[in-house]
Structure 1
Amino acid sequence: MDDGDVPTSRRPLVRPAGLTALADALRALPPSCGPVRLVGVDGHAGSGKSTFAGRLAEALGGAPVLHLDDIASHTELFDWTGRMRAQVIEPLRHGGPAHYTPYDWTARDFGPPRVLKPAPVVLVEGVGAGRRALRPWLARLLWMDLPAEESWRRGRSRDGADLREFWDGWVRAERRHFADDPSRPFADLLVRQGTTGYEVLPGPAGHPRRGPAHDSR
């Protein structure tokens, strides 16, 4: 649920070379989930998470990206924490590969398992990537800093009239989720997209993430 452009910021932007520097900084972090540096990319639906995560993964030399669209489903838009922990977090935490069953949004069913190897950096992209149940396992949380209404407008425009009813339900569910379990206040970095690159700013968290042994949220 992410793509498109947002207004150019007046501040300097992080262009491809800057993404390389960000990638280097992420690699230098201590592992947060077994041997893995798990990095969350959260934000409103339509804010550009998938595009940014893909470009950051390239800068990381082909880092795996777990899309939360593969973990969620029509009946569990946000109630997927148990499946995420069982299929992804626990295997990675113990140093092994994860095997998760991606959801097919057309067939409305879960498909055959996919393997997610314990790479040095693994990106988790999607609405709710920074939820409280996952934060203890994140080395960094990045928030795509585009307001909700603008993000949803972009998403609706991209997906067209056929998904209008889905979007109506999604917006209500997303509002409820972030009212109960906000991610942005815990973001280590804010990411803003312009026409020529990305701007990466310090996030509201205001301090380095300390890791699961010290984070009881």
Structure 2
Amino acid sequence: MSAGGGGIGTYSALAKEVLGREARLGDVRLVAVDGRAGSGKTTFAGRLARALRHAGVDVAELHTDDFLDGWAELEAWRPRLERWVFAPFKAGEDARYRRYDWVRERLRDEWEPLRRPDVLVVEGVGSAGVQDLTFAVCVHAPRALRLERGLIRDGEALRPQWERWMAEEDRFFGEGAAPRTVDVHVDGAPGEEHDPQNEYFILAGG
């Protein structure tokens, strides 16, 4: 089933749709996987990247969490990612970047090289708002489940940070709102049986 039509989609079909669209970040197809924290963005992005690789293209994956300043600001990643990665790719050059160290609470000193790929998959809150997108996905899940997933991953001690972050997401997206420039909305907590490695649920109307 095609993206946006509701029902079950497959990562292989989505990869084919992405590759059938125009590259806008220079010769790189930029794909955003947006959604609130704990919705299942990272899992979705990884499975889509795998399907793209199976289609025979070179894929790079980046997570906006690696470009943040801790829990301080929702979109602190944007200027770094645009300057270090997007701008070089648009100019036809390779890139390099520094990751945020969540343990030391600062950017790492070392720069990591990033060769220009055929497809760049960027996962993170607000990623569908960047320019030069080829395709954008938004993953959704209920608030309670998102918080539960976050605390399982990060520990109960970080509950205050998670609750502040979720409140910031509410202000960022607007109550009940989702990113506008999205091609397909995905259910990050489907209750129906499916093959999660190869299939995903498209939200009705998404």
**What residue number does 1:56 align with?**
48
Equivalent pairs counted in the alignment come to: 187
Q: SS at 1:171's partner residue?
A: helix
SS of residue paired to 1:144: strand
1:41-70 deviation line (CA, Å, top 9, x unaligned): 000100001011111111111621110011
Partner of 1:21: 13
Determine the structure 2 residue equivalent to 1:123.
Answer: 121
State TM-score, norm by structure 1.
0.77
What is the match of residue 69 of structure 1? 65
AA in 2 matched with 1:126: G
| Residue 199 (structure 1) aligns with | 201
Of residues 88-97 and 170-179 in structure 1, the stretch that sits farther from structure 2 once superposed is: 170-179
Gaps of 5+ in 2: 1-5
Contact map agreement 1:42 1:183 (CA 8 A) in 2:
no
CA apart distance, 1:110:
1.0
Aligned pairs for 1:132-171 within 5 A:
134=130, 136-171=131-166
Aligned partner (choices 171, 174, 178) of residue 173 of structure 2? 178
TM-score (norm 2): 0.81
- 1:36 matched to 2:56? The reply is no
Tell me, yes or no, if the aligned pair for 1:188 and 1:203 is still in contact at 8 Å: no
1:96 aligns with 2:113: no
Of residues 106-115 and 49-58 in structure 1, the stretch that sits farther from structure 2 once superposed is 106-115
Alpha-carbon separation, structure 2, partners of 1:33 and 1:26: 14
Aligned-residue RMSD, C-alpha: 2.3
Q: 1:138 to 1:202 in 2, by over 3 A?
A: farther
Which deviates further from its counterpart, 72-81 or 101-110?
Answer: 72-81
- Identical residues among aligned pairs (%): 36
Match of 1:119, SS state, is coil
Equivalents in 2 of 1:174, 1:65: separation in Å?
A: 23
SS at match of 2:59: coil
1:213 aligned partner: none
Cα distance between partner residues in 2 of 1:33 and 1:202: 30
- Report 1:101-116 matches (<5 A): 101-111=98-108, 112-116=110-114
